[in-house]
Amino acid sequence: MQNLVLASSSKYRGQILEKLQLTFHCCGSDVDETPFPGEAPADLALRLATAKAQAVAKTYPQHLIIGSDQVADCDGGILGKPGNRERALRQLQLQAGKETTFYTGLCLLDSNTGNLKTDLDICRVHFRDLGDEQLKRYLDREQPYQCAGSFKSEGYGIVLFDKIAGEDPNALVGLPLIKLIGLLHQFGVHIP
């Protein structure tokens, strides 16, 4: 089997990939995540996943590179990583009582041949209609300032939701394993 590299420095994506019990390396990619004017969230997620895999391929020329990126869309606006409590509170206020769609782009690139395959996971999160004090208590407890949408669904963030509708619970954390297994199979990596 070819060596695998996860084009990410996210500890959350690394933890998800460990579920497959494969040997892999992690390598962050310094890709500008700024959307193009008018770029649709799904297109942005796929473009960034591919760009991350291609950026890491320069360092790992004989590997299968996994690129992934997630874009959150609420009311037609992209929600990035808030970076601090104030912006996280604004994001959660915006999402309260609404549905946010998470597009997780996935790219698998054979850096030796340049062959690549992509896929896209779509997950819809239905937020409870919570007030400011509840949202502040959540932020004080979890501090999800480096997470798109300002929550960690794998942790205490589950208290924010009425419903999650998607094909793969791992996708909401940032790496759709079900789709990744399918892409790996196309490259001759069979799990189990």
pLDDT tens digits, residue range 19-78? 999 999 999 998 999 999 999 999 999 999 999 999 999 999 999 999 999 999 999 999
Q: What is the pLDDT of residue 12?
A: 86
Tell me the pLDDT tens digit for each residue of 125-158: 999 999 999 999 999 999 999 888 999 988 899 9
Is residue 86 packed enough to be buried (19+ CB in 10 Å), middle (13-18) or exposed (0-12)? exposed
CA angle 56, 60, 66 (to 5 degrees): 55
Tell me how crowded residue 136 is: count the other CB atoms within 10 A of its CB: 15
Q: What is the pLDDT of residue 128?
A: 97
Architecture of the 3-186 domain: Alpha-Beta Complex (3.90)
Tell me: pLDDT of 113 over 60.
yes
- 0.85 exceeded by pTM: yes
Which of 32, 43, 69, 75 is the catalytic position?
69
The answer to whether 105 touches 31, Cβ cutoff 8 Å, is no
Per the annotation, the verdict on 43 as an active-site residue is no
